[in-house]
Every structure is written in structure tokens, then in C-alpha cells.
Amino acid sequence: MQWKTSISRADEKETLVRGYDLMELVENLTFSQAIFLVLKGELPTNEQARMMDAILVAPIEHGVSVPSAYSSRVSISTGQPLNAAIAAGILSIGEYHGGAIEQAARLYQENSGKGGKQIIEEYAKAGKRVPGYGHKIYKESDPRAQTLFKIAREVKIFGNYCKLALDIEKEFKKTGKPLPLNIDGAIAALISEMGFDWRLGKAFFIIPRVVSMTAHAHEEVTKEKPFRRFEESEIVYEGPAKRELPKEYRKK
Amino acid sequence: MQWKTSISRADEKETLVRGYDLMELVENLTFSQAIFLVLKGELPTNEQARMMDAILVAPIEHGVSVPSAYSSRVSISTGQPLNAAIAAGILSIGEYHGGAIEQAARLYQENSGKGGKQIIEEYAKAGKRVPGYGHKIYKESDPRAQTLFKIAREVKIFGNYCKLALDIEKEFKKTGKPLPLNIDGAIAALISEMGFDWRLGKAFFIIPRVVSMTAHAHEEVTKEKPFRRFEESEIVYEGPAKRELPKEYRKK
Amino acid sequence: MQWKTSISRADEKETLVRGYDLMELVENLTFSQAIFLVLKGELPTNEQARMMDAILVAPIEHGVSVPSAYSSRVSISTGQPLNAAIAAGILSIGEYHGGAIEQAARLYQENSGKGGKQIIEEYAKAGKRVPGYGHKIYKESDPRAQTLFKIAREVKIFGNYCKLALDIEKEFKKTGKPLPLNIDGAIAALISEMGFDWRLGKAFFIIPRVVSMTAHAHEEVTKEKPFRRFEESEIVYEGPAKRELPKEYRKK
Amino acid sequence: MQWKTSISRADEKETLVRGYDLMELVENLTFSQAIFLVLKGELPTNEQARMMDAILVAPIEHGVSVPSAYSSRVSISTGQPLNAAIAAGILSIGEYHGGAIEQAARLYQENSGKGGKQIIEEYAKAGKRVPGYGHKIYKESDPRAQTLFKIAREVKIFGNYCKLALDIEKEFKKTGKPLPLNIDGAIAALISEMGFDWRLGKAFFIIPRVVSMTAHAHEEVTKEKPFRRFEESEIVYEGPAKRELPKEYRKK
């Protein structure tokens, strides 16, 4: 099997990452700068590096109540190693949890010529939800999206993708049933501004969530008894009543 | 089911991470500072933040030849979403690949009073390899370990755990069959210096490797045809020759 | 959190599975009969049980060259436990590998009134491939699909879903570019005949593949040296040549 | 990379599994017979096939309260595909949940000359629990273990490994603090009788549990609203009170 790659070249003498000596990167870059380099192929400007830090800090921890946090606790409670627990957590990042970044980034990148009104109409016609809008708790405005956009303006990352993202929000407001731009949508617009392909979208949620999963799995394994089992009182059985196995299925 | 946690508290008004308002963290911290806070419970000093950046950049990309890199490519080549591909990659981080950080950190933290000679003897007696030493390619000295320790000295993180790590290396050299401190061992010593529990060890490899897995999965899905299959020429069949199913197993 | 379920009820006295005492099932059912019961809610007839056996044996092992087989070997070669290796293998079952069963079963179940010609035209118009047809190796006819349909006729499971499946194959043949019904398509038609929801489709591939993954992971861990690494000769670097880190990124 | 295998050989003409034509297996074997063949390399006798069915039916479904059942529901509730949900469930099979089969089978296979008394003493001395004994609910006797051993006697699989397993149980009873042989221990003894390597132990739990995970994931996705989130009332925050980010960490 053959592997073609532009990401790195490693031999006995040195490891080059996107052309740079890995040891030079270790000595000089922040983790965010290095993430930008590995994913994009080029070094970030100072402004992009600042934006990357904000984007990666925003999803870092949102409480134990969400699947990606407690799934890693459940896994490690059964005696699994830390990496298996983190993998279990990542398998709870789907369309309804972090997955909207990818779809929203795709929407912005593939519809850059359109306005919010047109996009909302097209999605309504196709019977689909516009990804990146609405939140269970933040009904009017998602403070995390607002903070990220505030920083984007400060560092002059704010551009046409962000404008489109806000235009959609504005149009939703007019409908009387406002759906605020949420953190997924904001991250989607910002990575589009920095030139990241939408197919990378989920990674900007997954990378920081791994930090959260690590902290939760560690807390579980050091503070709790093994084996997270639900209580009978939390279970409602709705299946058939007890029944006999018919005679023709019996061995004797 | 009840969840006790000291990591965060989230409600409609705000999300507190280790007591700090998440929005303040987004505006002010680098990603490395935030990782330190989430995993340790307290903010890092400037020196610790610099050390964290170096530790997290070091494993960020080591080429496509290692399981954690190519496994994510294989998974996404079958049509899986990015998060499943990353989970598959993380399931290739084991005892022989990144897993030694955990065991080496445990060794340093549980044997701080001993010298290198005693530790090598104890492991030899138990028939176990000392974790964190030796490398397939770097026979004499692992440049990544050296660079990390150089930075540790600059920022005055270098302490007794690092000394013990080097003392073991020195004792191995005396045996005539040198096993250099590798990157796993160096990271293990440094996170011990900063007060991280050894059970968190693997995370300092997993978090940066997720960046590598993302880049490889993305390159695969955008540049290669689907479905990575090995060629017949790469397979050696060593099983039984073709044989008949015995009559008593046949339906007719 | 509350869990409603019709699948089973377990307490100190007994475990009822779909209403039947688990101990009676252990004493009397074959594994295939029990799988049918758990997934469908009712016991299979003798004919359905025979069909289940054939469906579950067909995907049980197809060689080491496919992602779901070798991925489990790679994972266990890094020192992971068996369950992590199997999880890694399952994360290589996607749209291009086993995933077509789900989509083909959906196609049959949602288009039962239509003919093959109409379906091919609709998919062509939508720019989509008809799932369950074509194979890399079997260009004219997939022997596994044929064997399954032969058994289906013997046990009188063969009905309208199978007829539709073959009608699509016949229409493809007329186009001069034949795409034979493959094993995914055949399984999809047969589970539809037995009343399984298309959302269960992938399971009829995953359950037997876990057996394959187990055998491969076990062979790897008992016969091979740890850590599957690709050779330099298998890697083609296409990235930038070595370059200097610009001065403004250097700490000194 | 080179792959040596004795499991199968597949080319354009045919697929041989352990030497037998896969199509012959599809036409003639039950799923349990085929599982035995793939994992062991040889066909089972009728008695072994009956025992395999019983072993594989026993773990097939134990209620929604255990991690391997509800983890797959949580994963699919976030919008993941079925295979990711099953992988998440498998990552909750650890030392405390199904994992004991492997360790108990190892114990029986590596200590076949010893008696129960000696084994209990050796484990006590090493400060380790004897794997395969004790259960949260079944304090005196595990009915699943008993049923499996009853069948083993009927089909004459019952031999020295089973006797050792029961001898350990008998010795525990003498201590006044009885720890009954549980289902994990019983399966471990029985697969040892049939000549399976202990490293395969977990598979006899994982293969049937995949059926359970499939049923639960399917029930979740067809009956419940997306995104399983815990309620605030189920969370107890024990971390620091709200605190200010110190001035030196602030950008302004």
C-alpha cells in the first residue's frame, strides 16, 4: 500500500512538518500556532493565532451533562484505558452535538454569494434546518458566539462569511421565531474566514473536547467507584409481559 | 444517576470552568493555558504555559507511517465521518505507541526517593522493561527528549523528576547497551514536575495526535479514492489447503 | 435520566428478553434464533432461522485485505485490549464497506411499488449510485448474492423485495454496463422480506464481521511482533521542501 | 507491509475460510458453527455446536442499565451512525464488565494442576481478586452459570476446567463469605474445555453484546428525541466558587 502525503516527512535525521523542522516548532510555537500549521499547511499571522486560541478555548468544557463528557466517564468506569474512554466520548460527537460546525461551514463556503433570506428560504423548501442556529438554553443570543465575533472584529478576521452568518440570524429574527447564531455557527464562519476547508469543521470542536473528556475520565477514575449502572427506578419497561417459550422451540 | 464534579458548573446564565467564567477564558487565555487549567484545576505560571506549549507541540506530527496516523486515513476511506476516523486513530494508541507516558510518569512519581541503578535492577528482577527508554530510530539520544529538557532548564521546570529520568538514562549507558530517554519518558518527567497525576499521562500524547489524525484524515478524503484495500501481493496465506466440508455437516 | 425499553426487563429474580425467560432461551435457542428475537421482538420460523444463519455466515470472513479486518490487527499491535481492537475495526465499516446494506434496504422498503427501470432513472437523475449493486471483483455476478437468493427460494423467503432487487439488476444489464446485485444488496432484500427495519441493516454485516475481527486480532497478537509501522519505501512525500522558520516566529 | 494469515484466502474465484469454500459454509452451517470454525480453525462437533449456542445466547441481553447497553443509545442519540454507536458500546466492555472472561480463562488454563484452595490463597497473597467470582445481584449462585454448566454436563463438555472452576467456588463457600461462580467464570471454563485460547475470552461476551447494542441503538433512534442530556438536578458541583481571572492573565 502506498501513502502520499504533504503533511510531514520523517527520517532518522529529522522530522519536517509542513517543511519546518519539528524541533524548531517545539522551541518556538504555541500549541495553537502549531495546530494552524498542521491543519492548514502555513503559519498563522498573530491575529489568526489569537483567533485560533479563542476558538479552541470556547468548546473546552461545558459541564458534565452532555454526551461527550459523561460517555468518557462511563467507559473508564468499566475498567477501560484512558484512550478508549476518549474514543467513546468522541463517538458521541454527532449531528446534534458539535457536528453542526461542519455543515454550517459548508453552507457558508458554498453559498457565499447569497443573502440570509435566500438561504433560509432554500433550506425551508428542502425541509432542512439551517445548521449553526438555535440553542436549547440560549434562546435570544448565544454569548459564546458573540464573544468569538467580538474578538474576530478586534483582530480583523471578521469578513464576508461572518456577515453572512449574522445576516441569516437577522432574517430569522424577522420571522418572529428567532434562532440565534450559536457557537457551532460562529466557529464555522470564523474558520471559513481563515481559509479552512469545511471538511475540517468538526475538528475545532473535537480537539478541545478531548481536553474535557480527559478531565472527566480522570475525575471518574480517581473519585468514583467502578461500573456506572442505572437504577431500576430510572427504567420503564414497556415490552411484552412474561410469556412461555412455545413447545416447538423446546429441546425437550 | 448522579454526577459529582469539580470541573465545571453550567447553567443558563454562565459556564464556570474551575471557577472562572468561560467567556473570560475565551478572551484571555491561550489554548495551552486553558488545557492546563482544565486538567489541573489551577492556572499555569508563564513558565508552565511555555512548557505546556513545547510538550503539546512535540508529538503533533511524526509522519504517516505510525498506526495513529494511518488508521484514521483507513477509517475515513471507508466513508466514515471525521470523528469516527479520529476515534479509530485513538484506538491505536497503546502500550507500544504513546502509552509509555502513563507508565513512565507512574514510575517517577512512585519511586522519587530511589536512584536510577536501583530502579533498573528492580525492573530487571521483575522481568519488565523500564518505560520511557529506547527508540527504534534514535539509538543514542532522542532529540525530542533533549529539546524538551533544554526548554525545561530555561524555564526552571527542571527538577528532581527530570534528574531521576536522566539518572536512569546514565545507568543504562553504563551497561554498554544504552537506552536513551525517549520523548515519552521526557514528557512523563515534565508533567510530573508540573504536578500532573500520572493517570493523565496518555492525554499529553492523545491531544496533539488528534491534530495529526485530523490532518491525515482530511488529506485522505480530499486526495485519495475511497476504500484502502491491500493488494494480493502483500498477503501470505499460511492456512490449510482447500478441503471438502465433511458429509455430516452438509444439509444435502 | 429515564430509559424506556421494550427489549428486556431484568431484576434479581429473572431476566426477560422480549418477554421470554433468558434461561429458557439459553437452553433451547440457537444463536441465530436469539438474534432474530432480540432484533425483531418475535421468534423466527424454522425457515427464517435457516435464512438468518445463511445471512450471518456470508460476511463472516473475506480475507485480511479489507479495512475491517486489518484495522483490528493494527490496533491490537499497539498494545490495545481486544475490545478496543474490535471497536477500531467497526469504525472502518462505512458507506464503502458494508454500509450499503442500510441504504439498499431503505431503497427497497421505500420504493416497493416501483420497478427497476424507474428506480435507476430516479437515482441517475439525482446523481446518486443505486446502493447494493456492483463489486470490485465480481463484475458479472456476485456468487454470495446468488447463494443467498438460492437459499431464500428453498425456504420460501423469496418475495417482492427480492424480485425488485433482481429487477434492478436486470435493468442494469440492459444498459450494457452491468452492475450485479452484490452481497450487500442481497442481504438488504432478505432482511426486508423478514420484516426488519432498514435502520438495522448495517448490523447484519457488523455482527459477523466482529467474528472476523476477533480472529485477525488474535492471530496478530499471538504471531506477530508489536507495532505495525509502514516502511519509508511505501511513503511518497509531496509537501514543501525544508524551509526556515521566519524570524518573527522565533523566540530568539 | 506484509500480512501473514491462516484464517482465509480470497481471490476472484473463491473465498476459503480455514480451507473451506465460503459458499459451502453459507449453505450448510449455523452461525455458531461458523463462529467456532473461524475462531478455532476446525469445525465443532454437534456437542460443541450446542455448547457454543448456549454460551453465545447467555450474554445476549441483560437490560438497559449496564454501560454496554446504554452507551450505544447515548452515541446514536447525538446523530451518529449505527456502527459508531456499537463501537462506543464496545468501549464500555472492560475489566468490570465482561472483561473477567479473559482473566478467568487465563487463570484456568495456566493453573490446571492446582486446586481451588491453593489458587484462592495465591490470589489473596498477591492482593488480587479471583476473576469470575461474585456478582452484584446473585449473592449465592448465578443462575446463568448454573444453566451453562447443566448443558455442559448434558453434552459432555464438562471436564477438568469446569471442575477447577467449581472447586474454587466451593472453597469460597467455606470461607463464610461465598463468592459464586458467575457467568464470566462459567464461560471462561467452558471455552477452555473446547480448546479456545484465553486471549479470545472477551469475544464470547462482545459478539452477543453487539446484538444487544444494536437493539438498544435502534430503539433509541426510532422512539426517542435526539441528544441525551442529564438534568441539572442530577449534577452535584463540588468545585471552587466563582472567582476572578487574575489581572496578570488579562489581555486588557
SS3 A139: coil
CB neighbours of D93 closer than 8 A, spacing ≥ 6?
A: A78, C83, D68, D99, D202, D205, D206, D209
Contacts with A27 from chain B: Cβ below 8 Å: 54, 147, 151
Q: Where are the domains of chain B?
A: 13-44, 100-200
- Rounded to whole angstroms, the Cα distance separating C113 from C116 reads 10
* Interchain CB distance below 8 Å, B91 and A81: no
User: Which C positions 164-193 lie with beta carbon below 8 A of chain D?
Assistant: none
Is pLDDT above 90 for A99?
no
What is the spatial order of strands in the sheet that B20-21 belongs to?
B8-10, B15-17, B20-21
Share of chain B above pLDDT 90, in %: 91
Q: Does any CB of chain A come closer than 8 Å to the CB of residue D72?
A: no
Residue C19 gets the label, from left (phi > 0), alpha (psi -120 to 50) or beta, of left
CA angle C15, C21, C25 (to 5 degrees): 115
Helix H or strand E encompassing A69: helix A67-77
CB neighbours of C93 closer than 8 A, spacing ≥ 6?
A: B78, C68, C99, C202, C205, C206, C209, D83
Is pLDDT above 90 for B138?
no
Exposed / middle / buried, residue A13 (Cβ in 10 Å: 0-12, 13-18, 19+): exposed
Q: How many CB atoms lie within 10 A of CB D195?
A: 11
Question: Confidence class of residue A149 from pLDDT cuts 50, 70 and 90?
Answer: very high
pLDDT at residue A148, rounded to an integer: 98
Taking chain D, what is the end-to-end CA distance rounded to the nearest angstrom? 55
| Average pLDDT taken over every residue of chain D | 96
Share of chain D above pLDDT 70, in %: 100
Cβ atoms of residues B186 and B150 within 8 Å:
no
Cβ atoms of residues B140 and B182 within 8 Å:
no
SS3 A55: helix
Positive or negative, the CA dihedral D210, D216, D219, D225 is: negative
Question: Confidence class of residue B5 from pLDDT cuts 50, 70 and 90?
Answer: very high
C-alpha pair distances (Å), D30 with each of A132, B77, C58, D206, D245: 49, 33, 11, 19, 65
pLDDT at residue A162, rounded to an integer: 98
What tens digit of pLDDT does each residue of B98-130 get?
889 999 999 999 998 899 999 999 999 999 999
Cβ atoms of residues A111 and A119 within 8 Å:
yes
What tens digit of pLDDT does each residue of A160-180 get?
999 999 999 999 999 888 999
SS3 C87: helix
Q: How many CB atoms lie within 10 A of CB D54?
A: 27
Is pLDDT above 90 for B96?
no
pLDDT at residue A112, rounded to an integer: 85
C-alpha pair distances (Å), D53 with each of C23, D95, D148, D151, D184: 13, 24, 10, 11, 16
What tens digit of pLDDT does each residue of A106-145 get?
999 999 889 999 999 999 999 999 999 998 888 888 999 9
Q: Does any CB of chain C come closer than 8 Å to the CB of residue A138?
A: no
Selecting from D75, D96, D235 the residue whose C-beta is nearest the C-beta of A64 gives: D235
- Rounded to whole angstroms, the Cα distance separating C71 from D8 reads 16
User: Which C positions 115-134 lie with beta carbon below 8 A of chain D?
Assistant: none
What tens digit of pLDDT does each residue of D50-64 get?
999 999 999 999 999
Which residue, A89, A51, A72, is CA-closest to A191?
A: A51
Contacts with C71 from chain B: Cβ below 8 Å: 71, 74-75, 88
pLDDT at residue C94, rounded to an integer: 87
| Average pLDDT taken over every residue of chain C | 96
Options 3.40.50.2300, 3.40.50.1980, 1.10.230.10, 3.40.640.10; CATH for A100-200 is: 1.10.230.10
Cβ atoms of residues B145 and A25 within 8 Å:
no
Q: Does any CB of chain B come closer than 8 Å to the CB of residue C80?
A: yes
- Rounded to whole angstroms, the Cα distance separating A234 from B220 reads 44
C30–chain D nearest CA distance, Å: 5
Is pLDDT above 90 for C157?
yes
- Rounded to whole angstroms, the Cα distance separating C121 from C110 reads 16
Is pLDDT above 90 for A237?
yes
SS3 B176: coil
Q: Does any CB of chain A come closer than 8 Å to the CB of residue C78?
A: no
Positive or negative, the CA dihedral B119, B124, B126, B130 is: positive
- Rounded to whole angstroms, the Cα distance separating D200 from C214 reads 7
Helix boundaries (H) for A91-246:
100-110, 116-125, 143-154, 160-174, 183-193, 203-223
Is pLDDT above 90 for C244?
yes
All 3 cell numbers of residue A177?
A: 421565531
Helix boundaries (H) for chain B:
22-28, 31-40, 46-57, 67-77, 82-90, 100-110, 116-125, 143-154, 160-174, 183-193, 203-223
pLDDT at residue D137, rounded to an integer: 81
Write down the pTM of the prediction. 0.97
What tens digit of pLDDT does each residue of D193-222 get?
999 999 999 999 999 999 999 999 999 999
All 3 cell numbers of residue A71?
A: 460517555
What tens digit of pLDDT does each residue of B201-247 get?
999 999 999 999 999 999 999 999 999 999 999 999 999 999 999 99
CB neighbours of D91 closer than 8 A, spacing ≥ 6?
A: A75, A80, A84, A85, A87, A88, A91, C83, C84, C87, D71
All 3 cell numbers of residue C197?
A: 427495519
Contacts with B230 from chain A: Cβ below 8 Å: 1
Query: What is the mean pLDDT of the segment spanning D120-141?
Result: 92
Instruction: Please report, to the nearest 10 degrees, the dihedral formed by the alpha carbons of residues A80, A86, A90, A96 taken in order.
Output: 90
* Interchain CB distance below 8 Å, B240 and D8: no
Helix H or strand E encompassing C17: strand C15-17
pLDDT at residue D112, rounded to an integer: 85
User: Touching B: which chains, 3+ CB pairs < 8 A?
Assistant: A, C, D
SS3 C8: strand
Cβ atoms of residues B101 and B244 within 8 Å:
no
Share of chain B above pLDDT 70, in %: 100
pLDDT at residue B99, rounded to an integer: 87
Selecting from D19, D28, D84 the residue whose C-beta is nearest the C-beta of B239 gives: D19
Query: What is the mean pLDDT of the segment spanning B25-38?
Result: 98
Query: What is the mean pLDDT of the segment spanning B17-45?
Result: 98
D140–chain B nearest CA distance, Å: 27
Which ipTM value was assigned to this complex?
Answer: 0.97
CA angle D59, D63, D66 (to 5 degrees): 85
Selecting from C77, C95, C235 the residue whose C-beta is nearest the C-beta of B79 gives: C95
CA angle B182, B186, B187 (to 5 degrees): 120
CB neighbours of A160 closer than 8 A, spacing ≥ 6?
A: A112
Query: What is the mean pLDDT of the segment spanning D164-184?
Result: 95
Cβ atoms of residues C92 and B74 within 8 Å:
yes
What tens digit of pLDDT does each residue of C186-214 get?
999 999 999 999 999 999 999 999 999 99
- Rounded to whole angstroms, the Cα distance separating C239 from A4 reads 9
| Average pLDDT taken over every residue of chain B | 96
Q: Which of the pair, D157 or A175, is modelled with greater confidence?
A: D157
pLDDT at residue D12, rounded to an integer: 84
- Rounded to whole angstroms, the Cα distance separating C89 from C107 reads 27
Please tell me what DSSP assigns to residue B20: E
pLDDT at residue A12, rounded to an integer: 84
**D113 phi/psi in degrees, rounded to 5:** -85, -15
Is pLDDT above 90 for B13?
no
pLDDT at residue A137, rounded to an integer: 81
Question: Confidence class of residue D241 from pLDDT cuts 50, 70 and 90?
Answer: very high
* Interchain CB distance below 8 Å, B245 and D87: no
CA angle A37, A41, A44 (to 5 degrees): 45
CB neighbours of B248 closer than 8 A, spacing ≥ 6?
A: none
Question: Confidence class of residue C98 from pLDDT cuts 50, 70 and 90?
Answer: confident
Q: Does any CB of chain A come closer than 8 Å to the CB of residue B72?
A: no
Q: Which of D61, D78, D251 has the most A C-beta neighbours within 10 Å, making it the best mutation to test the interface with A?
A: D78
* Interchain CB distance below 8 Å, A214 and B57: no
What tens digit of pLDDT does each residue of C69-95 get?
999 999 999 999 999 999 999 999 988
Selecting from A1, A68, A94 the residue whose C-beta is nearest the C-beta of D79 gives: A94
pLDDT at residue C99, rounded to an integer: 87
Share of chain C above pLDDT 90, in %: 91
What tens digit of pLDDT does each residue of C29-49 get?
999 999 999 999 999 999 999
Cβ atoms of residues C65 and B230 within 8 Å:
yes
pLDDT at residue D95, rounded to an integer: 87
Cβ atoms of residues D215 and C38 within 8 Å:
yes
What tens digit of pLDDT does each residue of A2-36 get?
999 999 999 888 999 999 999 999 999 999 999 99
pLDDT at residue D99, rounded to an integer: 87
* Interchain CB distance below 8 Å, B66 and C96: no
Taking chain A, what is the end-to-end CA distance rounded to the nearest angstrom? 55
